Amino acid sequence: MTIQDRIGDVTERIVRRSHDSRSLYLDRIGKAADKGPQRSRLSCGNLAHGFAACGLSDKQALSGDVVPNLGIITSYNDMLSAHQPYETYPALIREAAHEVGAVAQVAGGVPAMCDGVTQGQDGMELSLFSRDVIAMSAAVGLSHQMFDAAVFLGICDKIVPGLAIAALSFGHLPAVFVPAGPMTTGISNDDKAKVRQLYAEGKVGRDALLESESKAYHSPGTCTFYGTANSNQMLMEIMGLHMPGASFVNPGTPLRDALTREATRRALAISALGNEFTPAGEIINEKAIVNGVVGLHATGGSTNHTMHLVAIAATAGIKLTWDDISELSDVVPLLARVYPNGKADVNHFQAAGGLAFLIRELLSDGYLHKDVKTVHGTDLSGYTVEAKLDQDGNIVREQVPAVSGDETVLAPLSKAFQPTGGLKMLTGNFGKAVIKISAVAKERHVIEAPARVFHSQDDFLTAFNNKELKGDIAAVVRFQGPKAMGMPELHKLTPCLGILQDRGHKVALITDGRMSGASGKVPAAIHVTPEAANGGPIAKIKDGDMIRINAVTGELMVLVDDAEFNARPLATADLSEHQFGVGRDLFAAFRANVGAADDGAHVFGV
């Protein structure tokens, strides 16, 4: 199937815009690959240090340049449920490597922050910056030059984007991403949200809230809503860095372990010492990035990826813009309804056909580029299959059924939930922003309401608890951007905003901060750039100004006379209390040097 015209046009535009930077990147990784196995350039003393802790057979194997050595970059910790399963993966990977005559070593560990734990807390101000720390930490691990390929163990919000940036920085090496899978289904996400709202209204106590939350987040594995973590898994699979069917298999199952072993063997097979050399920097090209954006729109994925994908692409010399993302949203249909875009969770999505069904549908009508490289060794059509185990415990792949197992969760193209994607870009007289509309009722796609300005989440919550917020409201929560305080998610505002909306008011949020990938029904213009702390016009908005958000036309306006608005001074905020505590003092250099949201909000300057 020929690619859709608009998708082809956007892809070609990205290729042209990226020509010089992409060429430089490919030249750099090509030269690194041409030098052959990295260990050949280490001195005997270097090499002896590198395998000092290995067993005798591994030492002998690593003494030469014939046996491949697989680097393991792990984000294991046992506080983060999604990453707890990784505790056993290094042993499993070493065993699988030994079975094919290779070696595997843990190259390094990276931090893994749980946004669920830090949501609404001071530590959330480190969350976005942790992505770049993760990229640098992985780079430190791989910088020893002991490795011929790498596997990356990561799931959650900033971890996978950080690992992807690192993998592309070392783009001359093959890279396979290895997921751990979602926890099994607990209390429904809908019921969880209802209890949160009742708590915000004071109708239930903390005991009831904790009981509900504990039933939702109850075991090892990824949270089951379709937020950033599960959007990460979709992206890694649709961009060809997972093995087919790997994303949403529950942890602790025979199939999960078999997929991890298979990923190990495949990473070794595509190293320069194998027969199918496929470096990561060649897999992630302009077409793969566009496929990722298409997948994000078709599933109603996380708004965070409007920054993460830009940063990932930039590492590979690819210049992706919000305009590209917005234009793709106009033509890509929404095919999935997973909470917060629906009532189902990712386990229901997987049972209905999962990514294999989604990819097949999108390929069938030219919404995805088929002609891409993948770690599986096929083009993208090789990802329209389900992974299963045969009687001997070996992985077999079968074509996904022709019909969705549940069309209320996963629809065919002929019954798409809406003709456009789940994310839209907004522009207007106080900047650019992102809005997620896949979970917002159509009658709320256009909102006009008076502004009420806040400089912190707590100020908003105080006003709500004091019953000051009555009638229609456009809550402007500013000085939340990356330079101000690291761009925290403002998800704890969601229950209160939902209550105001449920009372029949027109409600919207406007912020230069972020919202959780789990946020849903309230229209939210987020990632406003330029941010208030960097001289953005959002700092000129006053209480009572009428704000218009039009997600249909992509309009974001303060309805004030241009001359008056332009003449207003920029408001200021005392951010001193956000510079210290929970490690924030260590991130001053990040706040000073971070780029804008539409440039990926990273510190690397690429």
Going from N- to C-terminal start, the domains of the chain cover 5-35+68-184+219-399, 423-599
How far is it, in rounded angstroms, from Cα 507 to Cα 310? 30
Mean pLDDT of 594-602: 97
How far is it, in rounded angstroms, from Cα 426 to Cα 549? 8
Nearest of 282, 24, 278, 283 to residue 148 by alpha carbon: 278
Model confidence at 606: pLDDT above 60: no
How far is it, in rounded angstroms, from Cα 592 to Cα 599? 15
Token duo for residue 262: 């298979």
Q: Yes or no: say if 257 and 179 are a contact pair by the CB < 8 Å rule.
A: no
Token duo for residue 468: 């000051």
Mean pLDDT of 84-100: 97
pLDDT in tens, 10-43: 999 999 999 999 999 999 999 999 876 778 789 9
Model confidence at 517: pLDDT above 60: no
Peptide bond into 340 cis (omega under 30): yes
User: Locate tokens 């926890």: which residue?
Assistant: 183
pLDDT-derived band at 437, boundaries 50, 70, 90:
confident
Token duo for residue 217: 């987040």
How far is it, in rounded angstroms, from Cα 493 to Cα 496? 6
- Element housing 212 (H / E): helix 206-216
Mean pLDDT of 469-493: 96
How far is it, in rounded angstroms, from Cα 206 to Cα 309? 38
pLDDT-derived band at 537, boundaries 50, 70, 90:
very high
pLDDT at 374: 98
Residue 371 neighbours by CB under 8 Å, 6+ apart: 287, 379, 380
Model confidence at 464: pLDDT above 60: yes
Token duo for residue 522: 């309230």
For residue 477, list its beta bridge partners.
454, 511
pLDDT at 138: 98
DSSP per residue, 159-174: HHHHHHHHHHHTTTS-
Residue 209 neighbours by CB under 8 Å, 6+ apart: 195, 196, 199
Token duo for residue 252: 């602790």
Query: What does pTM read for this prediction?
Result: 0.96
Least confident range of 60-64, 232-236, 572-576: 60-64
Q: How far from each other are the two terminal CA atoms of the chain, in whole angstroms?
A: 35
Alpha helical stretches, state H, 63-169: 89-99, 115-118, 127-142, 159-169
What fold characterizes domain 423-599?
Glucose Oxidase; domain 1 (3.50.30)
Give the SS3 label for residue 376.
coil
- Element housing 68 (H / E): none
Q: Yes or no: say if 150 and 175 are a contact pair by the CB < 8 Å rule.
A: yes
Token duo for residue 256: 């999960």
pLDDT in tens, 181-198: 999 998 887 788 889 888
Q: What is the mean pLDDT of the chain?
A: 95
Strand pairing category for 546-550 and 69-74: unpaired
pLDDT-derived band at 127, boundaries 50, 70, 90:
very high
Model confidence at 235: pLDDT above 90: yes
Model confidence at 518: pLDDT above 90: no
How far is it, in rounded angstroms, from Cα 458 to Cα 454? 9
How far is it, in rounded angstroms, from Cα 444 to Cα 455? 25
Nearest of 327, 350, 341 to residue 299 by alpha carbon: 341
pLDDT at 192: 84
Mean pLDDT of 285-311: 97
pLDDT at 189: 75
Mean pLDDT of 159-172: 98
